[in-house]
Amino acid sequence: MLLRIAFAFALTLGAVGPAAAGNESAPTVDLSVKGDIQIGPDGHVTDCWLKTQMAPTVAKLVDSTVRSWHFEPITVDGRPVNAKTTMSLRLSATPAPNDTYSLKIESVHFGTLTRTNLKLPVYPSDAARVGLGARVVLYLIIGENGNVIDAMPGQTSLTMRAKDEDEAEMWRKRFEKASLEVVKSWRYDTSELVDGKRVAKRYAIAPIEFSMSRSDKWTPYVPGPVHPAWWDKAKAADGSAEQQLAQISNGETASASSQFRLRDDVVGKTL
């Protein structure tokens, strides 16, 4: 759908990027939408609550789009039930002719978890002395009460190339140790409900970034090896671990075991 919006309206959508070719006054806009959805036993969306502040026109369009989605029914002991979960949706608004914008779905995730405490890991002092940073992606098991039951490294990437693999592994272990020490103190708001009950155990993926530069500066990484997660063997994940590791932003925790699955792929669709 094309929306006619002024520049000030575009700013309410999200971060403004480079102007479109041939239309220097029109920005390219990115919007991250958070909310909750509820589906009925037949898989249709029965309710939607958007938490992100948006221009009314955009909010109405997103709401109507989400309410039109159809999920695979969620079952308990073979019986279809009502269920509720969180939603994380990323949209792009591309400048179009006649001062309009075309809204497209770039990604959508269900069962995203919100951390209720902000305790950060201790930066390894020897790494700080040499100006080395890292991105540690952890696999988590989260209990019904929101506590982290267990954690293991999925992939650790460094900001600089080591002289050899032994040195790289030594640094990766340093950052992984600091990450695992703090993650056990994390708590989550586990709001996903199936048949009115909280899920007893959830698998999740969470990155931790150790950076010596400004937070708004793009940081390149030397990728480390990817380790298989618990749920790869249990076949509980939505897609491969490699794909999920690359899609998660710093500070986010993504579910790897949500039962919410759309019948049709909506990524790339225009609203």
Residue 217: per-residue pLDDT: 59
Which domain-ending residue is among 95, 110, 125? 110
Provide block-wise average pLDDT over 10 residues at a time, the chain (271 residues).
40 40 56 92 96 88 95 94 92 76 86 83 94 94 90 94 95 97 89 85 89 70 87 49 58 80 92 85
Burial status of residue 35 (CB atoms within 10 A of its CB: 0-12, 13-18, 19 or more): middle
Residue 78: per-residue pLDDT: 92
One domain for residues 106 and 122:
no
State CA 157 to chain mean position distance.
19
**In angstroms, rounded to a whole number, what is the distance separating the alpha carbons of residues 225 and 245?**
12
The answer to the question of residue 258 being in a domain is: no
One domain for residues 102 and 170:
no
The answer to the question of residue 271 being in a domain is: no
The answer to the question of residue 268 being in a domain is: no
Cα–Cα distances in Å, from 231 out to 139, 187, 202, 238, 255?
Answer: 9, 21, 10, 10, 11
One domain for residues 193 and 129:
yes
One domain for residues 220 and 99:
no
The answer to the question of residue 17 being in a domain is: yes
Residue 126: per-residue pLDDT: 95
Which domain-ending residue is among 87, 110, 133? 110
One domain for residues 23 and 142:
no
The answer to the question of residue 104 being in a domain is: yes
Task: Tally the C-alpha atoms within 13 A of residue 124's C-alpha that lie toward its C-beta.
Answer: 22
Residue 190: per-residue pLDDT: 74
Structure tokens at 215: 């937070």
One domain for residues 147 and 57:
no
The answer to the question of residue 42 being in a domain is: yes
One domain for residues 128 and 188:
yes
Residue 144: per-residue pLDDT: 84
Cα–Cα distances in Å, from 35 out to 22, 32, 197, 237?
Answer: 35, 10, 19, 22
Which domain-ending residue is among 110, 129, 147? 110
| Number of domains present in the structure of the chain | 2
One domain for residues 120 and 106:
no
The answer to the question of residue 270 being in a domain is: no
One domain for residues 165 and 69:
no
One domain for residues 14 and 75:
yes
Task: Tally the C-alpha atoms within 13 A of residue 180's C-alpha that lie toward its C-beta.
Answer: 14
**In angstroms, rounded to a whole number, what is the distance separating the alpha carbons of residues 244 and 213?**
25
- Which residue range is the domain that position 95 belongs to? 2-110
Residue 215: per-residue pLDDT: 56
The answer to the question of residue 269 being in a domain is: no
One domain for residues 64 and 182:
no
CATH code of the domain in which 155 resides: 3.30.2420.10
Residue 189: per-residue pLDDT: 81
Residue 22: per-residue pLDDT: 45
Residue 129: per-residue pLDDT: 94
One domain for residues 96 and 63:
yes
